Amino acid sequence: MLPERSRRKQIEQVVVTAEQMRQIEARIFAAGMPVAALMEKVGGAIARRVQTLYPYPQIRRVGVLVGPGHNGGDALVVARELHFQGYEVLVYRPIAKLKELTDQHAQYVKSLGIPHFEAIAPLQDCDLLIDGLFGFGMERQITEPIASDIHQLDRWSMPILSIDLPSGLHTDTGEVLGKAVKATRTFCLGLWKQGLLQDRALEYIGTAELLDFDIPTADIHAVLEAPKVKRVTSDLAIATLPLTRPPVTHKYKQGHLLLICGSRRYAGGALLTALGARASGVGMLSIAVPESLKPLLNAQLPEALVVGCPETDNGAIAQLDLPEGTDLESFQAIACGPGLTLEATPIIQGVLNNDCPLVLDADGLNILAILGTQKLSRRSSPTVLTPHAGEFKRLFPDAPSPMQDRVSAVREAAQTSKAVVLLKGARTAIANPSGQVWLNPESTPALARGGSGDVLTGLLGGLLAQATAQHISVDAIAACAAWWHSQAGILAERERTQIGVDAFTLTQFLIPVLHQSVG
């Protein structure tokens, strides 16, 4: 049996669909766990958490929204326990017919004198609402009169705690099924549900936390085998990042990265990408830029080898002019794209014909969209693509929409292109060609600034160069780069506020993230 801390670390990484959760619960029940006992365990844990977050008598009146299924049963256990702790509890129950176990709890709660209402209005003066209307697996649209009642909640100012996921959200995609509860906090039960890690769900889930009810890891592994969707946790990222070095080493053993970026028009893209790469700890950094940008890069990164290249009349790189005895195969990784402009198409064509591990971003992706992603299948070394939603649509017009289901979209894109695809967003999703998906569970709108993606490209390129030497999987290192980048944004936001986190400031918080996480 795993020690509790190790087990908890594993549980925090697991992400399931509704069908996978059904299969896992079926195994638990088949092994002898009574459904009623699990309901008591879950409801009791929620009630204790509510008391911690909203202690009596600071919060006195609690409204509990009860649906017909076991999610409603969980809510009724919470209602009963809070009643015993002195809270005034009111139950909203819009559907008369309940599942047998839920109905039994409803009868007992009624016997305690807790009032039940078919309409939502009597709960208007509550201090707190607990949403137990619909649990995981819901696929049909919420209809009247419940849809109007949920709409009414939007006009009220009290906090709402949703059990497992806000009622009205699709468990897998985060789609709003007609109408959905906008929760202040969501208690995800047992294992993380995939829909809670989709961008379009974020407006509804508030602060999400996992309430572990001790699912045996054997049951998880039996259903998932090798999990195809993983949540990137701090523990996982720190354990994966190439943070330690042998006592006897040198710079080339710690990875040699080539950046190809920048133009006279977009000089900042080259600088921000380079600063991101510097923070990665890569052993040697070479930067190919138009000749006119060389003084800027030399001044800001004196430790880097800045290669000035011939440029076009418009200030784009016309051709690579690497040092004598050096070619593209001299590097452990290449990252290119930020600030290049479409004039650099011949440069991208040349890089694609080389088999060095490669990161493409920005104009590198725009050029690839013109050339066609089928060119990637000829490469024997890995390629990482880092599109935002607009670039993704240009690269993969036949893939599922990244605005609808990011997991399906990024998985199909990776499988068809044979590349690792990092789809940027509020919940960045990363997939490899075998179908493994990683989801970064935390970020901040502070990163919605020009140049933030350039920083990520440099950081990822530097990590990839180191990972190549240390035999860390490319998709894992891309996931860790996304985590590191977002954590730097979160840390910067705490000190500078959201509007104070420009891309240059972001680079200054990359190393402090590691101090905070490792220390």
Q: According to the annotation, is 164 in a ligand binding site?
A: yes
Q: According to the annotation, is 185 in a ligand binding site?
A: no
The two structure tokens encoding residue 294: 């060389």
Q: According to the annotation, is 249 in a ligand binding site?
A: no
Q: How far is residue 424's CA from residue 114's CA, in Å, rounded to a whole number?
A: 48
DSSP SS3 for 259: strand
Q: How far is residue 488's CA from residue 490's CA, in Å, rounded to a whole number?
A: 5
Q: How far is residue 170's CA from residue 91's CA, in Å, rounded to a whole number?
A: 24
Q: According to the annotation, is 355 in a ligand binding site?
A: no
Q: According to the annotation, is 138 in a ligand binding site?
A: yes
Q: Residues 438, 439, 444, 447: is their CA dihedral positive or negative?
A: positive
Cβ(207)–Cβ(184) below 8 Å: yes
What's the burial of 75, exposed, middle or buried (CB within 10 Å: 0-12/13-18/19+)?
buried
DSSP SS3 for 220: helix
The 3-class secondary structure across 368-397, one letter per residue, is HHHHCHHHHHHCCCCEEECCCHHHHHHHCC
Q: According to the annotation, is 388 in a ligand binding site?
A: yes
Q: According to the annotation, is 141 in a ligand binding site?
A: yes
Q: According to the annotation, is 454 in a ligand binding site?
A: yes
Question: How many Å from the N-terminal Cα to the C-terminal Cα in the chain?
Answer: 28
Q: According to the annotation, is 425 in a ligand binding site?
A: yes
Q: According to the annotation, is 70 in a ligand binding site?
A: yes
CA-nearest of 440, 372, 376, 374 to 407 is 440
Torsion of CA 186, 189, 193, 196, to 10 degrees: 10
Q: According to the annotation, is 193 in a ligand binding site?
A: no
Beta pairing class for 429-431 and 437-439: antiparallel
Q: According to the annotation, is 158 in a ligand binding site?
A: no
Report CA Rg, the chain.
26
Q: According to the annotation, is 195 in a ligand binding site?
A: no
The two structure tokens encoding residue 225: 């085998």
Q: Residues 347, 353, 358, 364: is their CA dihedral positive or negative?
A: positive
Q: According to the annotation, is 461 in a ligand binding site?
A: no
Q: How far is residue 176's CA from residue 142's CA, in Å, rounded to a whole number?
A: 9
Q: How far is residue 181's CA from residue 167's CA, in Å, rounded to a whole number?
A: 6
Length of the chain counted residue by residue:
519
Amino acid symbol at 112: L
CB atoms within 10 A of CB 333: 30
DSSP SS3 for 461: helix
Q: According to the annotation, is 116 in a ligand binding site?
A: no
Q: According to the annotation, is 327 in a ligand binding site?
A: no
Task: Give the number of C-alpha atoms closer than 13 A to the C-alpha of residue 130, restricted to the C-beta side.
Answer: 33
Q: Provide the 8-state DSSP code for 172.
A: T
Q: Provide the 8-state DSSP code for 262.
A: -
Binding site residue list for (6S)-NADPHX = 70-74, 135-141, 164, 339, 388, 454
Binding site residue list for K(+) = 71, 131, 167
Binding site residue list for AMP = 424-428, 453
Binding site residue list = 70-74, 131, 135-141, 164, 167, 339, 388, 424-428, 453-454
